[in-house]
Amino acid sequence: MMKNFLSLRMLDFCSRLFTMLGVDYPVMRRILQVKLTMDQRRVPTIFEQSKTKEGNQFIKSLGLYAFYGLILVPFIIFGDYYLFQMTLVFAMMMFILMTTMIADFSAVLLDVRDKNILNTKPVNQRTVSTAKAVHVCIYMIQLTGAFAAVPLLVGLFVKGVLFTVIFLFELLLVGMLIVVLTALIYIFILQFFDGERLKDVINYVQILLSVGIVVGFQVMARVFDFSDLNVDFTFQWWHLLLPPIWYSAPFEWLLNGNSASYIIGYSIMSVVVPIAAIVLYSRLLPSFERNLQKLLQYSGVNKRKAYRLDQLLAKIVCKTKEERTFYRFSALMMKQERQFKLKVYPSLGFAFVFPFIFLFNEISRNGFGSLPGSKYFLTIYFGNIMIPAVVHMLKFSSNYKGAWIFRAAPIRNEAIFYQSALKAFLTKLYLPLMVLLSIIFVSMFSFRIVPDVIVVLLAGVLHALLSYKLLNNQTHPFSRSFEFASEVDTAKNIILIAIIGGFAVLHYLATLVPYGVLGYLGIVLIAVFISWRLVFPAKEKKLLISQA
């Protein structure tokens, strides 16, 4: 049976208040109980990159947020430059809360099933809407609570009671602002676009969150060793547009006694804006509820998009007509399937950022000037770490049931399915990203490294083949449910990451020999040709591989 949630037991204390507002409290409580039960069974985006899927996902994610809250601690304790420190604290807080809200709670805010399931029952509208509002608030309080718990405690011990009281009060306002802001964004998007576009926006925010958290921590760990920091704050009018500054101002005002007019102005903004936003929101709510229906409509533009380019690429990289067909199909699957993008695009983001993160140490030590002569360009190999991750994901699709078409179609040479999927991955995702990365690297390291970059790209192709052989080795791409996507063979992944290292080491050794890189290039090129033939035999025979 469903749990009697702590949050609901707390809510029971306010039951009188709800009854006074005209809400049927027992019914609202029951709706909330169902909603909270369903929340527990959802996998939060913050776990999207991990494998564990057992137990209460939501509580676990709160634990993770509490852990992330630790990074706020240094900013709170290292000094009394509240305007600066607390701006950073609130900026991070708002980023995390806002993206999480959009990524994970959209499903709740935008649940169109509610209408058919709840509004057909003898329950008054006010009860249903209040349940929704309370649900969002419970979520926000839990999230903010988890994230701010450690900073609040540290603040209490280091900065005293007044600090903590201001902090709590400001957190409340920030929470309100974020809930309303999220809703306003939805209202705005739904006013002008249909549900499909909104789902795209949510998808990209989810991706941003996944990348943002990992990259943010990598960068943070390296950037913030400026311990003796001293910032002079000069007021600029556009600072008024930065909400985190509003929330830092009251600390400056009440704790440092700085009562400059702009400080007081910010403090007023921090209170007035959330309240104004709520008023605006309640005005727009009826039209929002109406526009929610758009989520069910597919007004979509009935036009073919950017077909020419795909057509051209297909001609270049594929030999047979059948192969071209599946190449275009794979390209479309990668481009249009949200679940696939959510799983894969973060890896692409990491691939783009990691080389720079590892360059960062060198640049901060010796500056840009030392780069052209050095061999630090080899950090570009970190870009290749996306390959096993993405190749693994080629197995999956949220429409995996559609894969019957592979078996039903009269295709003789079954090698073309994965061959074309791999080609689509390499040409549509891998190459564009790596070419961009290469251009940046060449501009930093001089033209000398052009052959090296080509070697890296070829090693990538080879690596994709190895990854396929080691991880997938089946006939049909996009044919399994994402539910199994987390079943990763760790050993194989470590091997594949190590292989990247192997390529890099060989590359390094080749640079020590005159014309070594060109020789290495030749070897890798030949290896690519041979292994492609071996993995995907061109003959018309069935592949002798085990079906997954």
Partner 1 sequence: MNVANQEEKILSLTNLSMSYGGDLVLRWIDLDVYRGQIIGYIGPNGAGKSTTVKIMLGLVEGYNGTVEIFGQDIGNGDPSYKRKIGYVPENAEVYDNLTACEYLTFTGEMYGMDAEKAERKALLLLDKFDMRGVFHTKISSFSKGMKQKVLIISSLLHDPDLLFLDEPLSGLDANSVMIIKEILAQLAAEGKTIFYSSHIMEVVEKISSRIVLLADGKIVADGTFAELQAKNEEGTLEEIFNQLTGFNEHREIAKSFVSIVREGGS
Which residues of the chain form contacts with partner 1 (CB under 8 A)? 1-2, 27, 30-31, 34, 37-38, 41-42, 112-113, 115-125
Nearer to partner 1, 57 or 330 (CB): 57
Beta carbon of residue 143, minimum distance to partner 1 (angstroms, whole number): 20
Residue 313 CA to residue 424 CA, distance in Å, equals 9
Nearer to partner 1, 117 or 435 (CB): 117
Residue 538 CA to residue 368 CA, distance in Å, equals 48
Beta carbon of residue 337, minimum distance to partner 1 (angstroms, whole number): 19
Tokens matching residue 524: 């890798």
Residue 91 CA to residue 109 CA, distance in Å, equals 24
Residue 537 CA to residue 548 CA, distance in Å, equals 20
Calculated CA dihedral for residues 128, 169, 70, 158, nearest 10 degrees: -160
Nearer to partner 1, 116 or 227 (CB): 116
Nearer to partner 1, 256 or 297 (CB): 297
Please, which residues have CB within 8 angstroms of residue 287's CB and are 6 or more apart in sequence?
187, 191
Nearer to partner 1, 123 or 280 (CB): 123
Residue 47 CA to residue 55 CA, distance in Å, equals 13
Q: Are 521 and 451 in contact (CB under 8 A)?
A: yes
Q: Are 95 and 243 in contact (CB under 8 A)?
A: no
Collapsing DSSP to helix, strand or coil, 43 comes out as: coil
Beta carbon of residue 125, minimum distance to partner 1 (angstroms, whole number): 7
Collapsing DSSP to helix, strand or coil, 397 comes out as: coil
Nearer to partner 1, 264 or 411 (CB): 411
Nearer to partner 1, 129 or 258 (CB): 129
Residue 187 CA to residue 486 CA, distance in Å, equals 35
Beta carbon of residue 35, minimum distance to partner 1 (angstroms, whole number): 9
- Give, in order, the Cα–Cα distances in Å from 248 to each of 47, 241, 270: 31, 13, 9
Beta carbon of residue 470, minimum distance to partner 1 (angstroms, whole number): 31
How many DSSP H helices and E strands does the chain contain?
A: 22, 0
To the nearest 10 degrees (0 to 180), the angle between helices 321-336 and 338-366 is 80
Q: Which of 463, 461, 458 is nearest to 502 (CA)?
A: 463
Beta carbon of residue 116, minimum distance to partner 1 (angstroms, whole number): 5
Nearer to partner 1, 116 or 302 (CB): 116
Alpha helices in 41-124 (DSSP H): 57-68, 72-77, 82-109, 113-118
Residue 431 CA to residue 460 CA, distance in Å, equals 9
Beta carbon of residue 296, minimum distance to partner 1 (angstroms, whole number): 9
Nearer to partner 1, 38 or 439 (CB): 38
Beta carbon of residue 147, minimum distance to partner 1 (angstroms, whole number): 26
Beta carbon of residue 113, minimum distance to partner 1 (angstroms, whole number): 5
Beta carbon of residue 107, minimum distance to partner 1 (angstroms, whole number): 11
Residue 478 CA to residue 248 CA, distance in Å, equals 49
Beta carbon of residue 165, minimum distance to partner 1 (angstroms, whole number): 40
Beta bridge partners of 480: 396
Tokens matching residue 91: 């900026």
Nearer to partner 1, 38 or 526 (CB): 38
Nearer to partner 1, 3 or 448 (CB): 3
